[in-house]
Amino acid sequence: MCWNSGRWSTPPGRRGWRRLSPCSARPAPAITGGASARRWSSTSKSASSMRAGLIFANWFWSAKFAEGHVLDQHGLKVTALRVHHPPVTDCFALRFDQGGKSVVFSADTAFFPPLADFAKDADILVHEAMLEEGIERLVARTGNGARLKEHLLASHSFAEEAGRIASEAGVKRLVLNHLIPADDPDIGEADWLAAVRKTWAGDLTIARDGLVVELSGAKAAQGEETA
C-alpha cells in the first residue's frame, strides 16, 4: 500500500475507474505490504467534501468524499474521519484496511482524541508531530512569527500528543511525519525520540523523505527505532 499526497485533476463529474498510462504513477514515500501497490492522492475540492484518487496498478479511481465511507472494492476498505485543523474545515484522517492489515494517516491535525478510536488496533499509525522547543526558533526565522505560532499551536500536534493517540489506539507501530520543525540543525532524531517516549513505548519510526516502511514488519526501515 503506497500513499502519496499530491494534486491531480479530472474532468468535472467524472467518477469511477479509468485507465492510466505507465508514466502516470509518481514516486512517493510508501508503506508496502504486497505485490499490488496502491497510491493515494487527495486535494481540497469544496467546503463540504474532498476529491480523492486511488491507483490500483495502472487503474485510477476518483470520487468526492466526506467523513465516513470512502471506498470498499477489491478487498480494500477506505474510511475517513474529519479532524481538527483550523482554519481548514475539511481535513480528513484516512484509514486503509485490507487482508487483515490496516494503516491510518492522521493528516494535518491538532490533538484530536477521536482519532484514537478511528485508529484502533491499526498496524501502522502515521501521525504528524511538532517539538515544543523548536517552535520559538522556527517562528523567529519567519517574517510573520506571531501568526505562524498561533496557527501551529491551534492546528498541529506535539510529538507527545501523537504518542498518546498511538497508545490509546493500541497500534502496532507509530510513524511520526510532517515534522515541525523539519530543518532545525539543533534538533535531531534523539530529540523526537525523547519527546514521543513520554507517551508511547511501542515500535516507532521517525519519517524522512523517501522512507519505505514494510507493513509486514519483515524488513526494518533505516533510521527507525524498534525498542
Report the alpha-carbon distance of residue 187 to residue 62 in Å, rounded.
39
pLDDT of residue 102: 93
More confident residue, 180 or 213: 180
Average pLDDT of the chain is 75
The pLDDT-based confidence of 23 (bands split at 50, 70, 90) is very low
pLDDT of residue 208: 85
Query: How far is the first Cα of the chain from the last one, in angstroms, to the nearest whole number?
Result: 25
What is 11-62 written as a DSSP string?
-TT--EEEE--GGG-----EEE-SSS-EEEEEEE--SS-EEEEEEETTEEEE
Grid coordinates representing 126 are: 502515521
Of 21-25, 48-52, 117-121, 213-217, the least confident = 21-25
Residues in the chain, how many?
227
Mean pLDDT, residues 7-22 taken together: 40
What DSSP element (H or E) covers 156?
A: none
Under CATH, which number does the domain 2-8+26-225 receive?
3.60.15
Identity of the amino acid at 205: T
